[in-house]
Structure 1
Amino acid sequence: MSDEQRDFEAYLAMRELLPRLDAAIPGKWEITKEGITHDAATPNGPHELTVLRIRKRLEQATPNNLVAHTGVPDVEDEPKQILRRPDVMVIAEADTEGEGAFDPRSLLAAIEVVSISNPENDWVSKMRDYPAMGIPVYVIVDPRTGSGSVLTDIHTTPTGPRYATRKDFVYGETVTIADWTIPTDNLPRYA
């Protein structure tokens, strides 16, 4: 068996394990190139309220054929062996039909609200995984600092695809996400 086949078999085993982990241990489980990652904290009030407000603001700003989707299903790039669960995904409603995980190339944007227990997941590994999956816009909202970043313009580098453009913002500013703008005022901060 080749190394690639062995890696793929390991990925399938991890993917099979996720539902059991979800049922047994609170938190959010995802698969990265390094293996299974766990955000141990159950999302707290400020995290969930931030997700809700961003979702509502995006749905007001986007055309009717698009949705700001939260929850399941996952976003999976099986050939790259990556399975992620963005907090908010902007996607055409038609692309949400059907069974199974969303194709990451159907997402117009992924928005993550940084968790208290595992901020490196959002700021480091998703910054690597989302451009590799072909997600054109990645937005990080960080309630720890009251700031965030919008990352765009995927380009090739010697270590793999990366976002070429990063626009930082602080809460209270209007942010452009792809073709839409939303306010970031009244987003809760972590205490």
Structure 2
Amino acid sequence: MTTAPDPLRCDSLRYRAMRDIVEQVQDSVPGKLEITQDGIVHDMISPGGPHELTAARISRRLEQVMPDDLLAHTGTPDVEDPHAGVMRHPDVIVIAEADMETEGSIDPRTLVAAIEVVSRSNPDNDWVSKVRDYPLLGIPVYVIFDPRTGTGAVLSDIHPTPAGPRYATRKDFLYGEEITIAEWTISTDRLPRYS
């Protein structure tokens, strides 16, 4: 008698194999490696000045208006849900300080928001893949800043669809406007653009 393979176990093994590859090669390749349900994403170019400055300014502006027990954190660690088969590395995460007191990856369901600055080399990663992955991970607010065009979007209100969870609300903005991320309003003035 032959038994069919368990699809959840196959997915779990596939994810573990991809996770092992990322851990082995991340320090030896330029850029950033992330895992999606489609496979490993490699953003080949390390973020440069405008990208990093945008993330830093957004982080600083949020921390000026948020309560002291919340952080707008840039840098490591990753957010990861092995059951969903996704490991991402947002440019900025809004999270309670207490929820960062953990070893390894952050549980994405503890995030208040994830913020991405669009990569010059792989914009679809932020505008397409993460728009799909972040509601799947339960991240309630996803904000995109695009230095290529001086535009962005705030996505929120996760709802179920036949294709999986999706954001129901999208508010587009132009650099220079004020935007609201979760409960906090900040300016998008003086954010750098790619030349």
Q: TM-score, normalised by structure 2?
A: 0.96
Mapped pair 1:50 → 2:54: yes
- Matches for 1:72-91 after TM superposition, within 5 Å: 72-91=76-95
1:16-165 aligned within 5 A: 16-165=20-169
The 2-side partners of 1:97 and 1:133 are apart by 20
Of the two, which has the highest radius of gyration? Answer: 2
Paired-residue identity, %: 63
Q: Which residue of 1 aligns with 2:184?
A: 180
Q: Output the amino acid matched with 2:68.
A: N
Cα distance between partner residues in 2 of 1:131 and 1:98? 22
Deviations 1:33-70 (A, max 9, x none): 00100111110110011011011011111100000011
- RMSD over aligned Cα atoms: 0.7
Structure 1 position 141, deviation (Å): 0.2
CA drift at 1:19 = 2.3
The Cα shift of 1:150 comes to: 0.1
State the distance in 1 between where 2:147 and 2:138 align: 26
Structure 1 position 23, deviation (Å): 1.0
Alignment of 1:165-176 (within 5 A): 165-176=169-180
CA distance in 2, matches of 1:140, 1:176: 12
State the secondary structure of the residue aligned to 2:83. Answer: helix
User: Structure 2 CA distance, aligned partners of 1:3 and 1:137?
Assistant: 30
SS for the counterpart of 2:90 is: coil
For residue 18 of structure 1, report the CA deviation from its aligned partner: 1.1
Partner secondary structure for residue 79 of structure 1: coil
Distance 1:48 1:21 in 2: 23
Residue deviations 1:80-125 (CA, integer Å, cap 9, x gap): 1100000000000000002011111100000000000100000000
Letter in 2 for 1:25: V
Mapping of residues 5-16 of structure 1, within 5 Å: 5-16=9-20
**Unaligned 5+ residue runs, structure 1?**
none
Q: Which runs of 5+ in 2 are unaligned?
A: none
- TM-score of the superposition, structure 1-length normalised? 0.98
Counterparts of 2:78 and 2:97, CA distance in 1: 15
Instruction: Tell me which amino acid in the other structure corresponds to 1:77.
Output: D
Shift of 1:126: 0.2
- Partner of 1:189 in structure 2? 193
